[in-house]
Amino acid sequence: MWRIAAIAAIICCMMLVVYLLALKRQMRNITDELDRTAKRSYNRLVRIPLFDNDLNSLTSAINREIDDRKRMKIKSEETEKALRQAISDIAHDLRTPLSVIKGELQIMNSNSDNDPEQKSYIDVCIRKTDELKNMADGFFELALLESRDECPEMKRINLTNLLMQFIAENEGLIRLNSLEPEIIFPDSTVFAMGDEEYLKRILGNLLGNVIKYSSGSFTLRLTDNGEISIANPVGNAEAIDAERIFDRSYRADPSRKSGSAGLGLYIVRLLCDKISAEASASADANSLTVTIKLRPVIFSQ
């Protein structure tokens, strides 16, 4: 009799071991399914035929959680899209009246009957109007850039010619702001991969940053390996965090109340990301250098 009991116990133990091994295998399958689901941004549910009712209940609860997360993600994306559109609309609506206000102030300022004190007040108003318009332009460009799935046209670009053309087109703006540029190009023509319009927007934002913060000069440098750098003297280089300078609304001086919201360099980083370029910055004792490294041209053999 005891032999029969022993055999029955052994059979039960073997069945239990098989059951536990099968249960463990199905738990591994659930884990693998969850990993695949996470990689696909909750666009799939856990679908595994299970023999255990408790495991079935567990996967049902997991699928309900995945559905909830999916709905939350969709709602969050819709809210973010609506917010970007609202910012774009507000910025667009602000640009026209600010342009009109600036025009009227310039007309008033051209009146020869104005006394010096009145003229100084008008100059302040014009300068503040320019700051507001630049902020509106920045928010408008940012909203468009973040809301559109733009596809840059990547092609081989002559960086030497593009930079020379950029300087020539902005010579008046540079002189108007009393800046003395130093242009340093290599002897040979430099080529890189990129989108010409994106690069022009990047350079425009970098020049705008120089105009706001430079103290009279800047250096534009192009290297043989396709790096473009713009360096300009600044008065508070020690306060600049080069690691965060491309963050949205970064300010070297948080107490500063005037000027833009610091969107220019953040937009530069977004544009660089779209064309697979690298944006970096460094600050030394008295200057700030922003460097854009483009993808090199791969020549076929």
Three-class HEC string of 52-108: CHHHHHHHHHHHHHHHHHHHHHHHHHHHHHHHHHHHHHHHHHHHHHHHHHHHHHHHH
Same domain, 163 and 270: yes
Range of the domain at 93: 79-147
Using CA atoms in the order 88, 94, 99, 105, what is the torsion angle rounded to 10 degrees?
-150
Mean pLDDT, the chain, integer? 77
State mean pLDDT over 6-17: 72
299 found inside a domain? no
Cα–Cα distance measured from residue 227 to residue 220, given in angstroms and rounded to the nearest whole number: 11
CA distance 125 to 248: 27
Q: Which of 147, 177, 203 is the last residue of a domain?
A: 147
pLDDT > 70 in the chain, percent? 73
Under the banding of pLDDT at 50, 70 and 90, the label for residue 259 is very low
Output 62-69 pairs: Cβ under 8 A, ≥24 positions apart.
Answer: 62/30, 62/34, 66/37, 66/42, 69/42
The domain boundary residue, chosen from 147, 169, 195:
147
pLDDT at residue 166, rounded to an integer: 92
- The token pair at 18 is 């098989």
pTM of the model: 0.61
Q: Assign 300 a pLDDT band (cuts: 50, 70, 90).
A: very low
CA separation for the pair 31, 211 (Å, rounded)? 55
Within a domain: 159: yes
Among 28-32, 134-138, 214-218, 276-280, name the one with the lowest average pLDDT: 28-32
Structure confidence at residue 228 (pLDDT): 93
User: What confidence tier does 51 reach under pLDDT thresholds 50, 70, 90?
Assistant: low
SS3 of 13, please? helix
Nearest to 173 by CA among 212, 225, 144: 212
The set of residues, in sequence order, having a beta carbon less than 8 Å from that of 159 and lying 6+ positions away, is 190, 191, 192, 222, 226, 228, 294
Would 89 be classed as within a structural domain? yes
Residues 52 and 104 reside in one and the same domain: no
Q: Quick one: which H or E segment has residue 179?
A: none
- Interval 179-188 mean pLDDT: 90
pLDDT class for 20, splitting at 50, 70, 90? Answer: low
If asked whether residues 195 and 267 sit together in one domain, one would say yes
Residue that has been written with the tokens 């109340």 in this structure: 257
DSSP string, 191-203: EEEE-HHHHHHHH
Q: Is residue 60 part of a domain?
A: yes
More confident residue, 110 or 114: 110
Same domain, 177 and 234: yes
Please indicate, yes or no, if residue 301 is contained in any of the structural domains.
no
Candidates 152, 134, 159, 283; CA nearest to 221 is 159
pLDDT digits (tens, 9 = 90+) for 25-50: 767 776 776 676 666 655 556 665 55
> Could you say which DSSP state residue 237 is in?
G
pLDDT per residue over 113-155, tens digit each? Answer: 767 778 888 888 887 887 787 777 777 777 767 666 667 888 9
List the structure tokens of 186.
């290599």
Residue 69: pLDDT band with limits 50, 70, 90: confident
- Would residue 300 count as lying in a domain? no
Does residue 189 sit in the same domain as residue 260? yes
Q: Please say if the pLDDT value at position 88 is more than 90.
A: no
Q: What is the DSSP letter of 158?
A: E
Within a domain: residue 298?
no
* Number of domains the chain is built from: 3
- Domain stop point among 15, 47, 75: 75
